[in-house]
Structure 1
Amino acid sequence: MTIRGQAFIAGAFEHPLRSAPHKSTAQLHAECALGALKDAGLSKDDIDGYYCSTDAPGLGALSMIDYMGLRNVRHMDTTETGGSSYIVHVGHAAQAIAAGKCKVALITLAGRPRQNPVASLRLVPDAAPEAPFEAIYGGTTHTMYAMCAMRHMKEYGTTSEQLAWVKVAASHHAQWNEHALLRDVVTVEDVLSSPLIADPLHRLDCCVVTDGGGALLVVATEIAKSLDRPLVEVIGAAEAPKTPLGGRDLDIISSAAQRTADLAFEEAGVGRQDIKYASIYDSFTITVLIQLEDLGFCAKGEGGRFVSDGNLISGVGKLPFNTDGGGLCNNHPVNRGGITKVIEAVRQLRGEAHPKVQVPNCDIALAHGTGGRLGERHGAGTLIMRRL
């Protein structure tokens, strides 16, 4: 069974707040859901499928379905693959719609990490099976990604200047986003002169930490065509894990995108050369570089050269990326950036991105996320969409 011709993204909403001290997590989820419903022109009674992950409070889907008053849900999915969960959810929703399990699937993400930043950075839960073997070394998200960056530099000659170009591109886009947390355009020199967090990563190589969230509505074809909204079809989706396998896989500079990319492109029936815009998970600058390689936009080891000299800047480079400013400058709600990647891709395909960053004739877009941690265990999701 293929999802092509079966499902469309009819609603997309990104919460405007980046700090929400006076709102609950459940309230943020509900506000995002209402935003997506308004965008699509649907009501909550139309929703018969609900998708969330572990950012949802209480009993997850059960608590949120109750809180939001969703009366007609007959299909639920609480898949957890870290920050890529919501990209994976879109693929799962498309599959469920193709199988007749639901017709209108709501996906929500929300949280408030700025209100308790120490807890939000917890690396390995005590109950995780890997905890006794890994937590004792005191690793952090920053040091794990720094190890990947350092290894990439050793293997391929990648430089800090090349990594900095990823941040520079994101900042050029964020300046036009009124909701972006960081709107100042930065230079390579600005990135390199920012404080060193974990060698070789500087502060500006790291994503922002934000409250807020987002929501998506994936709907059946007949519903999408009944709405007064541009048609954004989901034409390819794939997911895959990558783990250390108890120390048997020590390749820390490759990601699960090596497995998801070919599967998604094959289902979509398009090639890399057809992608007009790419939303790439950007928890750190090195995250973008490795994913671009593994997705096949450049050869392994060529990522540093690929991202240099503005190649990711809309209107300048050949592969515009994260035109909302991404997780590096705009928004990384709940330390999980997957849903915002899909939201900005939908904006681009609809022609609704800011005019300064809108990609001309954007008819095919890709969103990719890596959830968990590069260099350790993570889940990847690749999504390909087109405008009809």
Structure 2
Amino acid sequence: MNSARLHAASELPYVRRTTATTEELLAGAFEALLEAGGLEARDVDGLGVASFTLKPDRCIDMAWRLGLNIRWSLDDGHGGASGVNMLRHAIAAIECGHARHIALLAGDVFGPDDFKELAANYNGTTRQYLAPLGIANPNTLFALLTQRHMRKHGLERADYGALAVGQRNWASANPNAVYRSPLSLEDYLAAPRVADPLCIYDCVPVVAGANAILLSHVSALPAGSPAIRIKAIDCNYNFDDQSGDGLTTGLRVISDRLFANAGVRREELDLVSVYDDYPVMALVQLEDLGIVAPGELRSFLNDRVLAGRFPLNTSGGQLSAGQAGAAGGLHGLTEAALQLLGRAGERQLSKADRALVSGYGMVEYRYGMCANAAILERAQ
């Protein structure tokens, strides 16, 4: 990872409805990425794409639409883990000399029936076993998981609300977020329930949007361009063969190794972006990564997250910014990159030198099978 540098990121404003196509949004994110990175389309010789609604097109079709002649391509279908997964492969490609400039794109546009069709036919297991039970919907599965998490840690709904409210406070400074209006803990507790104990603020809003990041070989960076070094990256898939309780992910296996390889201590992180399709999974990841110590979830949520004393998901996360399909897997990386490059606008942290980004997702039967994380550092 000594040769690859992340030096640009872009995100189109997330919207609830649009007449644009998935291809158009991905192209828009790519165009903004080139401008941010100081490159021309002809410079890009590697492309990775994550999308649920680009079908029947794939990465190579997108390359043609963008007019790219590439030496490296990647189609990624890992959902919430796609961003870190693509990043890992792109780093390897640059290290091996397979490409000099790689653009990674992710995005989706869901029509009225697209998301329902995706949820009901997410994979063969969902179609065969879950749909007949009437629970081919992630809200039901993660409501059950939240109940289990509440019992295990002695938490109440207000504790999960602290995360939702804390992230909404960050979203208020993000012009790309769908939900920016103030949200109080009282608002959260009074909100309509979706699947007990989840309310509408516990479930990511489905939106349209696209994200992109740009990696280049260190010797090919535009002159004077700020850049980010990937200090460490690790993944663990099919952690428990779907036989565990869902309250632990593969991040627990890789956590200590990740920090050791990065040469970074947890307290040296300036911001953390964890995949937040539901508050419970954000908390599980924070525990698995060792960022929150056992027995300290309640104090962490109320004394640090709600009080704005811990930079968690500074974009507002998907809970407030929205989940643009596969773009959700790249959302955290985009935000971390913008912060480390000093391009986060009104929400820019005064100190943003090191960040951790995690990915999670791809529910097979009961829980997500994929977990990965990367530690990023502003290059001096």
Structure 2 counterpart of 1:363, one-letter code: D
> Conserved in 2, the CA contact under 8 Å of 1:168 and 1:187?
yes
Distance 1:52 1:335 in 2: 9
Cα drift, residue 338 of structure 1: 1.9
User: 1:312 aligned to 293, 305, 311, which one?
Assistant: 305
Number of residue equivalences? 376
Q: Which residue of 1 aligns with 2:49?
A: 52
Summarize the alignment of residues 50-89 of structure 1 with structure 2, pairs less than 5 Å apart. 50-55=47-52, 56-71=54-69, 73-89=70-86
For 1:96-150, what per-residue CA distance to the aligned partner results, in whole angstroms no more than 9, with x for missing partners? 111111111111112112544543651444x625643333322210011111110
Cα drift, residue 386 of structure 1: 0.6
Indicate yes or no: 2:336 matched with 1:341. no
Q: Which residue of 1 aligns with 2:88?
A: 91
Structure 1 counterpart of 2:351, one-letter code: N
Indicate yes or no: 2:377 matched with 1:383. no
Cα drift, residue 264 of structure 1: 2.5
User: 1:103 aligned to 72, 95, 100, which one?
Assistant: 100
SS at 1:264's partner residue? helix
Cα drift, residue 95 of structure 1: 1.5
Distance 1:295 1:47 in 2: 34
For 1:132-170, what per-residue CA distance to the aligned partner results, in whole angstroms no more than 9, with x for missing partners? 333332221001111111001111212111100011111
Indicate yes or no: 2:346 matched with 1:365. no
Indicate yes or no: 2:249 matched with 1:258. no
> Conserved in 1, the CA contact under 8 Å of 2:272 and 2:311?
yes
> Conserved in 2, the CA contact under 8 Å of 1:114 and 1:211?
no
Cα drift, residue 243 of structure 1: 5.6
SS at 2:76's partner residue? coil
Structure 1 counterpart of 2:229, one-letter code: E
Distance 1:20 1:229, change over 3 A: farther
SS at 2:79's partner residue? coil
Distance 1:345 1:68 in 2: 26
User: 1:275 aligned to 266, 269, 289, which one?
Assistant: 269
For 1:155-196, what per-residue CA distance to the aligned partner results, in whole angstroms no more than 9, with x for missing partners? 121211110001111111111122221111211111111011
User: 2:36 aligned to 16, 35, 39, which one?
Assistant: 39
Indicate yes or no: 2:349 matched with 1:350. no
Task: Give the TM-score taking structure 1 as reference length.
Answer: 0.90
User: 1:298 aligned to 275, 292, 295, which one?
Assistant: 292
Distance 2:306 2:337 in 1: 18
SS at 1:83's partner residue? helix
Distance 2:360 2:354 in 1: 21
My pick for the range that moved more, 370-379 or 162-171, is 370-379
SS at 1:324's partner residue? coil
Distance 1:227 1:287, change over 3 A: farther
Indicate yes or no: 2:279 matched with 1:285. yes
Q: Which residue of 2 aligns with 1:242?
A: 238
Cα drift, residue 203 of structure 1: 0.8
SS at 2:214's partner residue? strand
For 1:261-308, what per-residue CA distance to the aligned partner results, in whole angstroms no more than 9, with x for missing partners? 333323212121111101111111112111111111013453333222
Task: Give the TM-score taking structure 2 as reference length.
Answer: 0.92
For 1:190-236, what per-residue CA distance to the aligned partner results, in whole angstroms no more than 9, with x for missing partners? 11110111111111111121101111111111123x34331211111
Distance 1:341 1:118, change over 3 A: closer
> Conserved in 1, the CA contact under 8 Å of 2:76 and 2:86?
yes
Distance 1:188 1:244, change over 3 A: same
Structure 1 counterpart of 2:305, one-letter code: L
> Conserved in 1, the CA contact under 8 Å of 2:354 and 2:377?
yes
> Conserved in 2, the CA contact under 8 Å of 1:26 and 1:57?
no
Distance 1:202 1:42 in 2: 44
Structure 1 counterpart of 2:280, one-letter code: I
> Conserved in 1, the CA contact under 8 Å of 2:239 and 2:249?
no
Summarize the alignment of residues 133-148 of structure 1 with structure 2, pairs less than 5 Å apart. 133-139=129-135, 140-148=137-145
> Conserved in 1, the CA contact under 8 Å of 2:108 and 2:327?
no
Q: Which residue of 2 aligns with 1:154?
A: 151
User: 2:128 aligned to 120, 125, 132, which one?
Assistant: 132
Q: Which residue of 2 aligns with 1:27?
A: 24
For 1:16-46, what per-residue CA distance to the aligned partner results, in whole angstroms no more than 9, with x for missing partners? 2414532111111111111111100001111
Cα drift, residue 54 of structure 1: 4.1
> Conserved in 2, the CA contact under 8 Å of 1:91 and 1:237?
yes
Distance 1:133 1:209, change over 3 A: closer
Distance 1:274 1:160 in 2: 30
